Structure 1
Amino acid sequence: MHVRVHRVWSRQIPFRVDIAGIIEIMGSSLYSRLDTPIRELIQNSYDAILRRRARDLQFRGRIDIHQDAAAGTLTFTDDGVGLTAEEAEQYLGTLGIGMTGVLKGRRSTAVKSTIVGDGEGLVGQFGIGLFSAFMLADFLKVESRSEDSDEGVCWEAGPGTEIRLSSSDRTQFGTSVTLHLKPQFRMWCESLESLEGGAIREFADFLPVPIHVNDRPARVNVINAPWFEATPEPESLELALADYFNEAPLDVIPIRMEHPLTIAGALYISPQRTPGFADESTVAVTVRRMVISRRVRDLLPAWGSFFRGILELEDGTPVASREDLVRDDNFRALRRTLEEHLYQHLEDLADQPGSRLESIVTWHRYHFAGAALSEVRLRFLLRRVYRFQTSKGPLLLDEILQQSAADPLYENDLESVVWYNADRRQERYLDELFSRITVPCVHAVRSFEESLLAEMLVDEDGGVELRQATPSARNFNRIVLGMTDPEDLAAGWQDYFSSTDARVMIASLASGPPVVAFLNDRYELARTFEELRREGDIPTGFQRLNDAHFRQAPTGRNEVVLNRTHRLVQNALRSGVSSPLASVLRVLVMNALTAAGAVRSAGAAAVQAEDLDWIADALRGPGA
């Protein structure tokens, strides 16, 4: 019998890195832009200069970028701290171990002690910046000379795994990185505008180190911006923001704080009206003056999507691609701090004399109204500056409440009754009705304004009731219309008015027109859907939803009230449905409904035409 013997074995193997695969991942997943390697190499140069500044407080430094179209190369040169041969071997060729990352604590203390300097103010972190250059180049050459070395070092690599390290006769301290560009990326060594106007200004405009291109004396980057100054002059700050963002701010909010987090920069209120209050607010962010992104989301409160600006966030943590910030505890703390600062700024504006905040709120009216539905603090701010349109003109909430005191004869359980209208078609009509009394009617004709008004009144904590201005609302007939003794018309008259598709009643009104009409929104909506259904314009699934909705809550009807105290109504009812006055009364009923915004059906239009003919014949008289 043959017995198999199981061999026990083990061995250690090194990690292997497919450089070509890593570069493909960088290009397709990690970085979203092809100019990212330019940002990474500028960043490396900047960190090297800062490390030299830490050793020599008088040293300033500069970065030079040189295009050579003939050779197809792009070279980045700095006069920073430079590299020794040992540092070049250990850090340039090892993916994921960058010198800056080591200095900032991403490796052991023992490893950190082998490098001169510290991580204060440095931008880099992950040790992948140099490798990103292979996205654009098929060959890299690095020449460097450290202050701590008697000779220079040359580091050369292609996209494979072999690296050539050799001595260099370089005498100048600092580092040069030359990219031998792939044919499809030659524009970086041929187009000055792409390099300067695109990559450099996009990422490095504010780096406090001058960047020069092709040995030209003028630097490319701005370096200084008013929003980074400790005490910026207001007018220069506003002009700088207008120039940078290409729009004139409605209001500027300088920000400079050290506690609980370090934040510098400025925000402003954009004049651009956002399409809706669900838009996300965005802001440009720099970390140690390197632009991380011009559209960092979630940093500002959701209710403030009209805020724009640029912030230097020393406590922000860039993601690996350095195109956004990590949503960590620091990010959440920054968000809370900024929201508190913005609230405080707006509340301070509300305390100042004049109407600056009111003008801003009026400009972004619907955004503020919608956002305040879920923000209690924003609602309390708006009640000081947000004016609702009413029958008495634009009024603040407190002004509405002062004029809406409940009538103690009928409302002894309430302090205030706020009447509102949710239908734009009835604004003029209800303005006329409410003109007879001191109480205003609020025109909350957009759904979120109606909800905002309701939420603000809930914040009052009792004693206030919101009522829609319709005859079916409690005490509307008595308080607003001065109506008494309402009753339905006799059956014969109901049949006579059937073409109006409305419930017709009669009552005594203190004063006013012979006919008063009120729309039922649900009835008008149901009629609109019915017309669309007959024309075949509603999808089947949507029609089922409509049918279910209206089955659960009946639509009701429009309502018309005839004023029995008016002489025309009295005479018409006395004369009967066959008299010309009956036709006049039916025309008035139809016109009242139309004035209130009702849609006249084809049948009703035909009946009205007949009434007008009958009236014309009656006025002409016999034998005319």
Structure 2
Amino acid sequence: MPTETFEFQVEARQLLQMMIHSIYSNKDVFLRELISNASDALDKLRIEALRDDALDADVSDLHIAIEADREARTLTIRDNGIGMSHDDVVRLIGTIAKSGTGEFLQQLKEAKNEAAAEGLIGQFGVGFYSSFMVADEVTLLTRRAGEDKGTLWTSTGQGSYTIATADEAPQGTAVTLRLKPEDAEDRMFDYTDPAKIREIVKRYSDFITWPIRLVGQEPGGDREATADGAEEDGAEGEESGPQGAGERPEPETLNSRKALWARPRNEVSDAEYHELYKHISHDWADPLEIIPMRAEGTFEYQALLFLPSRPQHDLFSQDSKRGVQLYVKRVLIMENCEALVPDYLRFVKGVVDAADLSLNVSREILQQDRQIQLMHRRLAKKVLSTVKEMKAKRPDNYAAFWRHFGAVVKEGLLSDFDNRDTILGVSSFATTNDAEQPTSLQDYIDRMKEGQQHIFYMTGESRNAVESSPHMEAFREKGYEVLILTDPVDEVWVGAVPEFQGKELRSIAKGEAGLDGGEEETEEAKAEREQQREDYAALLTWMGEQLSESVKEVRLSSRLTVSPACVVSDQNDVTPALQNLYRAMGQDVPAGKRILELNPGHPLVEGLRRAHTDRASDPGLPGTAEVIYGMALLAEGSQPDDPARFTKLLAERLERAL
């Protein structure tokens, strides 16, 4: 059959040029794509040989070979897999010239940004053509297993390609790239450099099932002799070098083939797992937990996740690299796939290897892909169940994990509604019950006082600030346990989580104190409380008027036993700490007025009441009211509205007292 020349259609030529210059930000991935294609060809031959006993094919030493010629500036990627017939070459390699390109180009032009355009290209499956990013000419020589003649395909990627019959061709496919001369000047892109080839294979294709051999180098021994995983399928005949014309003995195997996630847990040592973790996480410490996963059925994937033993330095940075490595059939597709794990599990490291995803999948496609969403949900549930198991069976590991990552996990209470109860169940909180040991919500409920209906908590900057707060006084006196929440995220999630196991979460710094249960109030106590309300009615009204610009109400407190006053928020109000958090995030939050509560049993408050009753026109009384309000703000860790005025008023009152 004579050589046939095919012209790319104008639209196809435009698409090819756009793809060459736009699809990948890193040119190195061309080698990943070609190795992946070769690996698929080897997989197909193995399956076909099992199905067809009469297939005339050599399966004794299935492998991928890479040969670089520095003088000729060529790079060849060869496999002895299933190969292609003439019709296969026209149908598969010529896909880019098929109909429908016009519609595709129109979608590409309508894409709103470069990322969206890359996503569309990713759906087209044009990995082979990434070769033209680094090559002036690409030649493909292939022979399908069981056939006598081969096919030769050649193109410069400009306007046409040729197809001819090859009378002599080895089984499989060989892709030869005539590399661009300008890349020779930059060692970063010298793809004839063995060190560069090793680097790319190690990064993207280290776990490919089949051996990837670098041939034509100085003799150094076949490294496969000591490589783990030689027992895997396709590893027969490892001692011999690759077959075919022009290949020299003693090749170097570049990939480890140690896809630990594909092997049963009992066949892999912890040391091997730890080595893989350190390789993908760049952490020198061993992981805290190893989480293997395998999903079978209509959509198959394998995963190997790790819980670090310590946080990375950029855990709370918006620019941090997060997500796990995504492989498709052991080919690295994405270093940091954020779509696979929720943001509140961003510390999780590991590998997910899917069987059916596109190699050219983009971030935009990942976010919308149903299979990715399914993996996302399952991975999250698996990690949380591991934390739950760790809490029950390995408390020391759990304590270390929660100390480092608890604040991040609690972010899930705001975003992962499906797993909210699970997250609450694995969470631990500091508590007034024990200064050293945190508590779970379930343990808190188990210790509740008789008649107690609420889970009491208080947020603050530190444990000391919370324990010193006036809001704690009545709860401490009556023996109620209070959760101490000091992580910034605590200010946010407590407003979004109403209850746990039917028990409402209630802030002791909001609304009425509302102490649950306890002894029933005596008639004498009720009468005394009513009398206090009558005695303080005038003072409360007057102070409310004096402080109207700062507070919306002044009332008597049932939560104070020692301090003269405290400031509280209404039950549904945004706390000052949360307002500050929102402002730090660039959100404008209007400042709301709060409530000033007075302790009628404190001498200062009682003295002010008598002074107001006896000499309501005393010009110094308004200043005293401001001082009491300022003291309440300081007691909770806030600042008076006008610190200079507060200091002056306080100095005047101290002077009078002396």
TM-score of the pair, normalised by structure 2: 0.67
Q: Which residue of 1 aligns with 2:269?
A: 233
Match of 1:397 among 432, 435, 441: 441
Find the aligned partners of 1:163 and 1:518 in 2 and give their Cα distance. Answer: 80
Q: Which residue of 2 aligns with 1:606?
A: 648
Matched, 1:421 2:458: yes
Q: Which residue of 2 aligns with 1:61?
A: 62
Match of 2:508 among 468, 481, 497: 468
TM superposition shift of 1:523: 11
TM superposition shift of 1:377: 5.7
Find the aligned partners of 1:152 and 1:259 in 2 and give their Cα distance. Answer: 38
Aligned ranges 1:156-305 → 2 under 5 Å: 156-165=154-163, 172-186=170-184, 187-198=189-200, 200-216=201-217, 217-231=251-265, 232-247=268-283, 248-259=286-297, 261-270=299-308, 271-272=311-312, 274-275=315-316, 282-301=323-342, 303-305=344-346
Aligned ranges 1:270-349 → 2 under 5 Å: 270=308, 271-272=311-312, 274-275=315-316, 282-301=323-342, 303-319=344-360, 327-349=368-390
Q: Deviations over 1:125-148 (max 9, x none)?
A: 977444332232222233445664
Q: Deviations over 1:33-56 (max 9, x none)?
A: 323322222233333334444435
Q: Deviations over 1:425-456 (max 9, x none)?
A: 55422445533221123334567535645666
TM superposition shift of 1:571: 11
Find the aligned partners of 1:557 and 1:326 in 2 and give their Cα distance. Answer: 46
Q: Deviations over 1:350-385 (max 9, x none)?
A: 442535345423422222222124545634334444
Find the aligned partners of 2:419 and 2:391 in 1 and give their Cα distance. Answer: 12
TM superposition shift of 1:219: 1.6
Q: Deviations over 1:362-420 (max 9, x none)?
A: 4222222221245456343344442333333433223433454465xxxxxxx513433
Aligned ranges 1:60-99 → 2 under 5 Å: 60-82=61-83, 86-87=86-87, 90-91=90-91, 94-96=94-96
Find the aligned partners of 2:555 and 2:181 in 1 and give their Cα distance. Answer: 88
Aligned ranges 1:13-32 → 2 under 5 Å: 16-17=9-10, 20-32=13-25
3-state secondary structure, aligned to 2:431: coil
1:508 and 1:573, CA in 2 relative to 1: closer, same or farther beyond 3 A? Answer: farther
Q: Which residue of 2 aligns with 1:369?
A: 410
Q: Which amino acid aligns with 1:488?
A: Y
- Contact kept, 8 Å, 2:83 with 2:171, in 1: the verdict is yes
- Contact kept, 8 Å, 2:475 with 2:515, in 1: the verdict is no
Q: Which amino acid aligns with 1:378?
A: N
Q: Which residue of 1 aligns with 2:635?
A: 595
Find the aligned partners of 1:520 and 1:326 in 2 and give their Cα distance. Answer: 40
TM superposition shift of 1:502: 7.6
Find the aligned partners of 2:557 and 2:93 in 1 and give their Cα distance. Answer: 95
TM superposition shift of 1:252: 1.6
TM superposition shift of 1:610: 2.5
3-state secondary structure, aligned to 2:432: coil
- Contact kept, 8 Å, 2:20 with 2:132, in 1: the verdict is no
Find the aligned partners of 2:94 and 2:575 in 1 and give their Cα distance. Answer: 73
- Contact kept, 8 Å, 2:306 with 2:348, in 1: the verdict is yes
Q: Which amino acid aligns with 2:564?
A: V
3-state secondary structure, aligned to 1:613: helix
- Contact kept, 8 Å, 1:227 with 1:264, in 2: the verdict is yes
Q: Which residue of 2 aligns with 1:45?
A: 38
Q: Which amino acid aligns with 1:159?
A: G
1:608 and 1:78, CA in 2 relative to 1: closer, same or farther beyond 3 A? Answer: same
TM superposition shift of 1:469: 3.4
1:443 and 1:192, CA in 2 relative to 1: closer, same or farther beyond 3 A? Answer: same
1:452 and 1:144, CA in 2 relative to 1: closer, same or farther beyond 3 A? Answer: closer
- Contact kept, 8 Å, 2:555 with 2:597, in 1: the verdict is no
Find the aligned partners of 2:413 and 2:540 in 1 and give their Cα distance. Answer: 52
Find the aligned partners of 2:609 and 2:318 in 1 and give their Cα distance. Answer: 53
Find the aligned partners of 1:433 and 1:153 in 2 and give their Cα distance. Answer: 88
Find the aligned partners of 1:390 and 1:184 in 2 and give their Cα distance. Answer: 66
Find the aligned partners of 1:299 and 1:82 in 2 and give their Cα distance. Answer: 34
Aligned ranges 1:91-110 → 2 under 5 Å: 91=91, 94-96=94-96
Find the aligned partners of 2:276 and 2:479 in 1 and give their Cα distance. Answer: 50
3-state secondary structure, aligned to 2:17: helix
Q: Deviations over 1:314-334 (max 9, x none)?
A: 243444789976955544444
Q: Which amino acid aligns with 1:391?
A: T
Find the aligned partners of 1:596 and 1:182 in 2 and give their Cα distance. Answer: 69
1:127 and 1:324, CA in 2 relative to 1: closer, same or farther beyond 3 A? Answer: closer
Q: Which amino acid aligns with 2:567?
A: F
Q: Which amino acid aligns with 1:60?
A: D
Q: Which amino acid aligns with 1:517?
A: C
Q: 5+ unaligned residues in a row in structure 1: which ranges?
A: 1-13, 99-123, 408-414, 619-624
Q: 5+ unaligned residues in a row in structure 2: which ranges?
A: 1-6, 50-56, 99-121, 218-250
Find the aligned partners of 1:381 and 1:328 in 2 and give their Cα distance. Answer: 25
Find the aligned partners of 1:227 and 1:82 in 2 and give their Cα distance. Answer: 29
- Contact kept, 8 Å, 2:150 with 2:169, in 1: the verdict is yes
Q: Deviations over 1:77-135 (max 9, x none)?
A: 33344556x3586357623499xxxxxxxxxxxxxxxxxxxxxxxxx997744433223
1:454 and 1:609, CA in 2 relative to 1: closer, same or farther beyond 3 A? Answer: closer
Question: How many residue pairs get matched?
Answer: 551
Find the aligned partners of 1:489 and 1:323 in 2 and give their Cα distance. Answer: 63
3-state secondary structure, aligned to 1:249: coil
3-state secondary structure, aligned to 2:410: helix
Question: Comparing 147-156 with 235-244, which one deviates more in the overlay?
Answer: 147-156
Matched, 1:563 2:601: yes
Q: Which amino acid aligns with 1:222?
A: S
Q: Which amino acid aligns with 2:213?
A: H
1:154 and 1:304, CA in 2 relative to 1: closer, same or farther beyond 3 A? Answer: same
Matched, 1:518 2:567: yes
Q: Which has the larger radius of gyration?
A: 1
1:499 and 1:598, CA in 2 relative to 1: closer, same or farther beyond 3 A? Answer: farther
Find the aligned partners of 1:71 and 1:92 in 2 and give their Cα distance. Answer: 29
1:331 and 1:569, CA in 2 relative to 1: closer, same or farther beyond 3 A? Answer: closer
1:130 and 1:226, CA in 2 relative to 1: closer, same or farther beyond 3 A? Answer: closer
Task: State the identity as a percent.
Answer: 20
- Contact kept, 8 Å, 2:261 with 2:292, in 1: the verdict is yes
Q: Deviations over 1:137-171 (max 9, x none)?
A: 22223344566455665443323444455566856
TM superposition shift of 1:22: 2.9
- Contact kept, 8 Å, 1:505 with 1:562, in 2: the verdict is no
Q: Which residue of 2 aligns with 1:443?
A: 484
3-state secondary structure, aligned to 2:279: helix
Find the aligned partners of 1:327 and 1:583 in 2 and give their Cα distance. Answer: 62
What's the Cα RMSD here?
5.2
